[in-house]
Amino acid sequence: MKKYRIMFVCLGNICRSPLAHGIFEKLLKDANLDGVVDVESSGTSGFHRGEKPDPRMTGVAASHGVPLDHLRSQQFKKEDLENFDLILPMDRENQEHIKKMMTSKDQKEKVKLFRDYDPEGKGLEVPDPYYGGPSGFEKVYNIAERTCRSLLGDVKPLVV
């Protein structure tokens, strides 16, 4: 059986998208679904290609039991529109960047704003904590955690 594939996307792939990636991997493992859903994250820019997630984000995630050390930044590629079933940009700017790569209606249907799954903020963006203080990273963790839980609820019926 083909695995269901999800890609989380932000700008540099060192804060928001690796956080969602790590949280969703943990939720899948806890639900015994890690064998049927494949999770990746990427950035629309290649600024940080090959780098580990931001240490501030790694620290906040670790304080909640979510490891991110195994992740490395990669750049979103046009082929990802074909290779993934669901592509979730963290904000509209990155969503627009992805839309410019689209060549079919099928691809358009795969791309949804991450917070469209947030029960407390449908249609909102995940703020970029990179230039903010420590509380911004915790805020982003809370947004990503509840959104990933909601996303899991939507994905689970598709894979079991």
Q: What is the DSSP letter of 115?
A: G
Closest CA to 10 of 54, 55, 69, 64: 54
Q: Which member of 10, 91, 115, 148 is catalytic?
A: 10
Q: What is the mean pLDDT of residues 64-70?
A: 97
For this structure, is 128 an active site residue? yes
* Sequence spans of domains, the chain: 4-159
pTM of structure: 0.96
For this structure, is 16 an active site residue? yes
pLDDT of residue 134: 78
Ramachandran region of residue 50, left (φ > 0), alpha (ψ -120 to 50) or beta?
Answer: left
Banded model confidence at residue 1, pLDDT cuts 50, 70, 90:
low
For this structure, is 15 an active site residue? no
Q: What is the mean pLDDT of residues 7-29?
A: 97
Q: pLDDT, tens digit, for every residue of 16-26?
A: 999 999 999 99
Query: What is the secondary structure of 54-109 as a DSSP string?
Result: PHHHHHHHHHTT---TT----B--TTHHHH-SEEEESSHHHHHHHHTT--SHHHHH
pLDDT of residue 2: 83
Q: What is the mean pLDDT of residues 99-107?
A: 93
The rounded distance, in Å, linking the Cα atoms of 66 and 60 is 9
- By CB neighbour count within 10 A (0-12 exposed, 13-18 middle, 19+ buried), where does 61 fall? buried
The rounded distance, in Å, linking the Cα atoms of 127 and 67 is 21
Q: What is the mean pLDDT of residues 5-27?
A: 97
Say what angle helices 134-159 and 55-63 make with each other, to 10 degrees.
60
CATH code of domain 4-159: 3.40.50.2300
Q: Which member of 80, 91, 118, 128 is catalytic?
A: 128
Q: Which member of 16, 91, 118, 148 is catalytic?
A: 16
